[in-house]
Amino acid sequence: MTPFEPIISFAQQMDSLDELAGFKEAFHFPQHDGRDVIYFCGNSLGLQPRNVEAAIQQELESWKTLGVEGYFHGPNPWLYYHDYVTEPLAKLVGAQKQEVTVMNTLTVNLHLLMLSFYKPSGKRYKIMMEAGAFPSDQYAVETLLLHYGYNPGEAIIEVTPRENEKLLRDEDILQAIAEHGEHLALVLFGGINYYTGQLFNMAAITAAAHQVGAIAGFDLAHVTGNVPVQLHDWNVDFAVWCSYKYLNAGPGAIGGLFVHERHAVNTATPRLGGWWGNDEKTRFKMEKGFRPKASAGGWNISTAQVFNTVALKASLELFEKAGIDKLRNKSINLTKYLSFLLQHLANLDFEIITPPEPGRRGAQLCLYFKQQGRVVHDKLTANGIVADYREPGVIRVAPAPLYCSFEDCYRFYEIVKTI
């Protein structure tokens, strides 16, 4: 690749060579002083794809003109609406179609899958997490343990970075799993840590968990649509994710989940049942006796959330056209260039705490300020940059490759130089 240069003409040249550059026009951008903002916040909420409005209007039209018959007729019969997104999602997470479904929201799905896969027995009842996991995951695990009568302070094992370090070392994670193996029922990590941006070695963590007889699960909120993964081949037991971040499906959009084939096709795998998870062949007989579908869809509980899934369906059409591997390649180059530019800043005292190796991070760089991080963030906002701030002291910037450009990175650098 051409050596980077901290000049706008270089950034513009890179954009002219980018085969994905046209996807930027497929999104609506908030405005600041009459121009598009620099939107580096897709790790928190993705932008609205332009095709969403028509997609929602179509389902409103079906509801208006067909009423309940919209479940069986119209361009997108609602009876199968959740199935319209499973195949493209399976491609993003390296799964078989039968291993993926959508329903509820992320933390609801995490609760439901932990109830299926957390099976404490005797001394094997502990759950391992990374220290500093997203609070919602911590709350879910705490309350699950309380539900079973355990003390979370004793039953949760947190893997922490070494002294004076902010990132977890792979060897420390694997060693911790081995050391606590006889007590572990579940190893639950975020695929990417929200605060540091560290991408964990999910394949190695899964293998280590299985080696000691534990279940391996992941929260992929910051992974899906960002970094291609191979959940089936890595033998991951289960995973959950949201769709409002890199998947651009809108605030509160439907959540997704993965259940490995060996569990999904086994209808004896425990789960909480509901009408929509029942086998379609017997669902409308209205009889007692839950007969789950032999797929991840067997975890569906309620009727497909059509209006909560419309934007995801529309956004995934863009992912299908772009291709996750091409998006990942562009993302790596964007974060490399942004990191290169940030190293030329002498006016601010900060540290990039995200791993420098592209294979250990996604589209997000985390800038740690020992002092005045919130002040710097507010000044960025006042200058038309949308990023987000997380205590203590971190500004997260995420140039999502579907709609961010090399020129965006350069404009960000130029603005930050003035602070």
Span 380-406, pLDDT tens digits? 999 999 999 999 999 999 999 999 999
Which of these, 209, 191, 241, 129, lies nearest to 360 by C-alpha position? 191
Question: CA–CA separation, 29 vs 22, rounded Å?
Answer: 14
Question: CA–CA separation, 394 vs 383, rounded Å?
Answer: 18
Q: How far is CA 397 from the centre of its chain?
A: 16
| Percent of residues, the chain, with pLDDT higher than 70 | 100
Query: Which residues of the chain does CATH 3.40.640.10 include?
Result: 57-319
Tokens representing residue 362 in the block: 């996604």
AA letter at 254:
I
* Sign of the torsion formed by the C-alpha atoms of 85, 91, 95 and 97: positive
Reported confidence tier of residue 280, pLDDT bands at 50, 70, 90 = confident
What are residue 159's DSSP bridge partners? 130
pLDDT of 1 strictly over 80: no
Q: Please, what is the average pLDDT of the chain?
A: 96
- Output the CATH code of domain 57-319: 3.40.640.10
Reported confidence tier of residue 2, pLDDT bands at 50, 70, 90 = low
Distance (Å) of CA 337 to CA 1, 8, 194, 359, 407: 11, 12, 21, 15, 10
Q: Tell me if the bond preceding 30 is cis, omega within 30° of 0.
A: no
Q: Give residue 315's pLDDT.
A: 98
Tell me the backbone φ, ψ of residue 302, rounded to 5 degrees: -110, 170
Query: Which residues of the chain does CATH 3.90.1150.10 include?
Result: 8-36+323-416
**Three-state SS at 384:** coil
Q: Give residue 235's pLDDT.
A: 98
Question: CA–CA separation, 160 vs 407, rounded Å?
Answer: 37
The torsion defined by the Cα of 253, 254, 258 and 264, in degrees rounded to 10, comes to: 180
Fold of 8-36+323-416: Aspartate Aminotransferase, domain 1 (3.90.1150)
Question: CA–CA separation, 266 vs 169, rounded Å?
Answer: 36
Question: CA–CA separation, 48 vs 27, rounded Å?
Answer: 6
Q: To which residue do tokens 């695990």 refer? A: 141
- Residues 272-297: what's their mean pLDDT? 90
